[in-house]
Amino acid sequence: MRKTHLTIIILSLFILVSGCFTSALAKDPWQWQFSLRGDQPNDDKTKPMLLPGNIFVDQELERYYVADAGNNRLLSFKREGIYLNAFSASNKLKTPTDIVREKDGLMWVIEKGRNSLTEIDLKEKKIENHSLQYRGVSVFPDRLFIDGENTYLLDKSSGDIILFDRKLKGIKHYGCPECTSGFIDFTVKSGNIWALARTEKAVYKFNTDGPQSEKIQLKGSLAFPFALEIGPAGLLYILDRHNGTIAVFDQTGSFKYNFLSKGHGRGELYYPEDLLFDPWGRLCVVDSGNGRVEIFSR
């Protein structure tokens, strides 16, 4: 009799412990580390970010740069998330939404308020606005990626990714003739352009050298795919703007898992804008509606 009782107690304990263990495993694999915020404690001169657009990471300087569109400024942070500086080019910036900083300190900024790709030379203290055209039509720059001599721009009007040379002359474009809408985001990784088609809920992979593309249909429930990033293991991370989640797919388009949720608290997103893996394996989410950038790591 006693033996039976003991067996039952041991069995119950085992079930209880294994239950706790599996529920711990079922938690989000991504854990919140810190937020990049415009307002700093005990510093009245700082103010919250308003509609941050995109984030750029300078690996050498170990800095984050954020385009704070609503406040017409660019913000810089240390790798640890410590606020460094705000830059507004003497209040000349107008709705900056994306930024790339090159090794020589040259900054390229998309200023939507001017429809310009703006060149900022910090050493020379010079700012030059560039209104771009491609095949005789105005380009409306939306997202920017610079890879050496190549400048890739997503044109909001056509939904195509346009490749420009250093003199900002349009070379060629990557589009999706079969799509009812064009691309909404893209990234360049290992010689490939990965582009997200919102309406089709698909990712198109182009080789930068050729026109051929591969379509990856995302098989899973996505409300409003808005941005994509390729993870270190080659998984596709899709930012679902309206659901406030990030959905992860493999390269066949099969759904793996999703994480985060819609809201205003920690680990919650409200009208998020962009995704980026930093060189240190952390996932940066530009949480536009909450005026912050959330940094997660595994």
Binding site for another protein (CB under 8 A): 37-39, 48, 50-51, 53, 69-70, 94-95, 97, 112-115, 137-138, 140, 156-160, 175-176, 179-184, 198-199, 223-224, 242, 263-266, 270-271, 288-292
Q: Supply the minimum distance, in Å, between the C-beta of residue 83 and another protein.
A: 12
Q: Which is nearer to another protein, 22 or 91 (CB)?
A: 91
Identify residue 233 by its one-letter amino acid code: A
- Ranges assigned E (strand) in 37-140: 52-58, 63-68, 73-78, 83-87, 96-101, 106-111, 116-121, 126-130, 133-134, 137-138
Q: Which is nearer to another protein, 61 or 223 (CB)?
A: 223
Q: Which is nearer to another protein, 200 or 229 (CB)?
A: 200
Q: Which is nearer to another protein, 11 or 34 (CB)?
A: 34
Distance between CA atoms of residues 205 and 191, nearest Å? 10
Q: Supply the minimum distance, in Å, between the C-beta of residue 21 and another protein.
A: 29
Q: Supply the minimum distance, in Å, between the C-beta of residue 191 and another protein.
A: 25
Q: Which is nearer to another protein, 255 or 277 (CB)?
A: 255
C-alpha angle 36-39-40 in degrees, rounded to nearest 5: 90
Q: Which is nearer to another protein, 20 or 137 (CB)?
A: 137
What is the side-by-side order of every strand in the sheet holding 283-287? 31-36, 292-297, 283-287, 274-277
- Is the C-alpha dihedral spanning 234, 235, 240, 243 positive or negative? negative
Q: Supply the minimum distance, in Å, between the C-beta of residue 12 and another protein.
A: 33
Distance between CA atoms of residues 284 and 281, nearest Å? 10
Q: How many CA atoms lie within 13 A of 195 on its CB side?
A: 32
Q: Which two tokens stand for residue 65?
A: 């740069």
CB atoms within 10 A of CB 23: 9
Q: Supply the minimum distance, in Å, between the C-beta of residue 208 and another protein.
A: 21
Distance of CA 134 to the CA centre of its chain: 25
- What does residue 25 show for φ and ψ, rounded to 5 degrees? -65, -30
Q: Supply the minimum distance, in Å, between the C-beta of residue 264 and another protein.
A: 5
Q: Supply the minimum distance, in Å, between the C-beta of residue 39 and another protein.
A: 5
Helix or strand run (H / E) with residue 2:
helix 2-25
Q: Which is nearer to another protein, 224 or 280 (CB)?
A: 224
